[in-house]
Amino acid sequence: MKTHSRRHALPALCFALGLGGLSVFAAPPVAAQEGVAAAIAATRPFLGDPDVESFIDEMAAKYGMDAATLHRDFALTAPNKTVLKAIAPPTRVEQRSWVRYRERFVNARRVGAGLTFMAEHARELEAAEERYGVPREIIAAIIGVETEYGVNPGRFKVFEALATLAFRYPPRAAYFRGELEQFLLFTRENGMDDLAVKGSYAGAIGIPQFMPSSLRRYAVDFDGNGQIDLRGSSKDAVGSVAAFLEAHGWRRGAAIALPVQVDAGQAQSLVDEGIRPQRSLSELAGRGVAVPASLLRPGQEEVDNKAALVDLVSPEAPTEYWLGFDNFYVITRYNRSSFYSMSVFQLAEALRTGAVDGVPVAPRPIGAPAAARTKPAAAAKSGSRGKRRAGG
């Protein structure tokens, strides 16, 4: 599970001899020096690093972990340069585009696979919905967006990824050191080999991609076997997604989002208030939002009485405006992006109806490659849509 903001490479290693030759005439720029220093630091072994040694001592003193075992783990692990490259900010920032973002997640391939996933796991989805109040299609949609229903749970060793980010990535070292701590506690509690667990480059684990801190706090043993396994147990994954949303305030049977028209002069100020619902529907109506009259009937606001105005911006299309209710905000606790939350909501609606934009979709094998595009379809797509940019 990720924590990106709503708005959504390691420096190349230089040849030592080359730098040495240049330094006879002039010192490299400060930025270049820092880049080289960071690249060199990234290759240093973990064992013997004072920060690593301090971490080992702390884990032993605070939690009674075996220091010798931790020394062994760090001795068998090296910093992963691919992880550092993946976590680094992009060198070129593209404009946000809801149209491009949506097409990656709300499409026939992901909906077809999702229908198969829901059929194969109908019992646990039904049980999770009954226990936690989260609709089964929302649970399936989150898993679909995160890993395409378990097809892409991550190939990195979690210990290696978290150690790399905790001790070789200064901008967020404190955060990832905390996640490494939580990961080691989790593997001990569940009898797992910490060097064998795999996940994303940022240390997210399993079918629903929980970071270790969230895993320890919210994940559940939904299959009742005495162990929480979000990679090997679809039941644990389904139950944990629902438990997470319920713990963050999911309201059973309440609305999620609703498209609206809004007065152009009022839109930006409302959007700037953020995605946490804080205005009543009557207040929003008074500020130029075309709230459906049916929602303004006496007593109706007691059900969905607060909302926020959400803008879905695309350079190639008019901005869409939606009312985001409490449940929409709850989804953003999984990934703090309005684009993410809306993609989950719209994928869930497609799974519920079995159609994408009104076109029926048949179930398809999970992980099956997309069908070859016809030339007319490809031409039509190129006219208004491009490749999706991560983030939102």
Question: Which sequence positions are flagged as catalytic?
Answer: 146
389: tokens are: 């940019």
321: tokens are: 């405006």
Q: 90-121 in b/e burial notation, b at 16+ Cβ within 10 A?
A: eeeeeebbbbbbbbebbbbbbbbbbbbbbeeb
Separation of first and last alpha carbons in the chain:
15
The string of DSSP letters for 271-303 reads HTT-SS--B-HHHHHHTTB---GGGGSTTGGGT
The string of DSSP letters for 137-152 reads HHHHHHHHHHHTTTT-
Strands 359-360 and 257-260: unpaired
Compute the residue count for the chain.
392
**Which of these, 257, 390, 389, 388, lies nearest to 321 by C-alpha position?**
257
Tell me the one-letter amino acid at 148: E
Distance CA 45, CA 42 (A): 8
322: tokens are: 């939606």
**C-alpha torsion sign, points 318, 321, 327, 329:** positive
Backbone angles phi, psi at 173, to 5 degrees: -60, -45
**Which of these, 249, 162, 244, 237, lies nearest to 199 by C-alpha position?**
162
**C-alpha torsion sign, points 101, 137, 333, 1:** negative
Distance CA 372, CA 206 (A): 30
Cβ(335)–Cβ(3) under 8 Å? yes
Distance CA 362, CA 115 (A): 8
Q: Which residues contact 271 (CB under 8 A, 6 or more apart)?
A: 309, 310, 311
